[in-house]
Amino acid sequence: MEPFLNFSVISDNFTYFMIGRFPHGPLGGVGLTLYLAVVSCILSFFGGMILGLFSISRFPIIRYPALAFINVVRGMPLLMVIFWMYFLLPALFGKVAENNTVIMALTLFTSAYMSRIVVAGIEGIPKGQTEAAISTGLASWQVMLYIVLPQGLRNMIPSFVNQFVSLIKDTSLAFIVGVSELTHVATQINNRTMAFPTEIFIFIAVIYFFLCYAFTSLSRWLEQRLSWSKAI
């Protein structure tokens, strides 16, 4: 009798799950998922920071476009943003690698959400801090850079982590445009072998869980290591 679950399909295709056809072909599987997540994560950190600062700028000409962008993106499903980038970027710039269209989509989408975290973090710093700093003669950009953001960032960390965990999971949507990250690899193997969908999707669920869990643990460790975390 056949065993209820047969995980040999995993061990047979393990390298393919992890890195796709690399190094003889393009990177895929878990490797590509991590690549998409890490690059989008770094870009959307800065994107969110810039959008957030723009959206509370004194100058309407900066503030309103930023707010409009944030609200439009937040009102769209991520899948649609991915399609948009997939068709729009090549139309504008000629040939763009699929990986990059996905990174662009994830970055724009996540930046819009991150910007609200940045604003909340900035607004959470007591007014007295700003008043004390401008009273010593610091210009408002210096107050933001040296006083408000360093304190605000610390308060933003838990929300950032949330957003990045979402981002790791959102990379799975890239499979729709044929980017061979983990979910795409899993559907490929499933289509080829036909008989083991349960095993395959249990396996990638576990992998997503561990990726997210490792990231949460890492950020908790980082948070505790911030030298002045005990100071407040």
Partner 1 sequence: MITFTGVHKWFKNLHVLNNINLHVTSGEVLVVCGPSGSGKSTLIRTINQLEPINEGSLVVDGMDLSDKKTDINKLRAEVGFVFQQFNLYPHLSVISNITLAPMKIRNIPKKEAEEQAMLLLTRVGLAEKRDAYPSQLSGGQQQRVAIARALAMKPRIMLFDEPTSALDPEMIGEVLAVMKDLALSGMTMIVVTHEMGFAREVAHRVAFMADGILLEEATPEDFFLRPQHPRAQQFLRQLLTPMQAE
Residues that bind partner 1 (CB under 8 A): 126, 128-129, 131-139, 142, 146-147, 150-151, 154, 228, 231-232
Q: Are 182 and 155 in contact (CB under 8 A)?
A: no
> 146 or 210: whose CB is closer to partner 1?
146
Report how far residue 110's alpha carbon sits from residue 114's, in angstroms, rounded to the nearest whole number.
Answer: 6
**Closest distance to partner 1 from the beta carbon of 148 (Å):** 10
* C-alpha angle 22-27-30 in degrees, rounded to nearest 5: 105
> 21 or 154: whose CB is closer to partner 1?
154
> 23 or 128: whose CB is closer to partner 1?
128
**Closest distance to partner 1 from the beta carbon of 120 (Å):** 18
> Computed over its alpha carbons, how large is the radius of gyration of the chain?
21
Report how far residue 175's alpha carbon sits from residue 214's, in angstroms, rounded to the nearest whole number.
Answer: 23
> 78 or 125: whose CB is closer to partner 1?
125
CA distances to 11, 99, 161, 166, 211 from 86, in Å = 33, 9, 27, 21, 26
Classify the phi-psi angles of 178: left when phi > 0, otherwise alpha if psi is within -120 to 50, otherwise beta: left
> 63 or 154: whose CB is closer to partner 1?
154
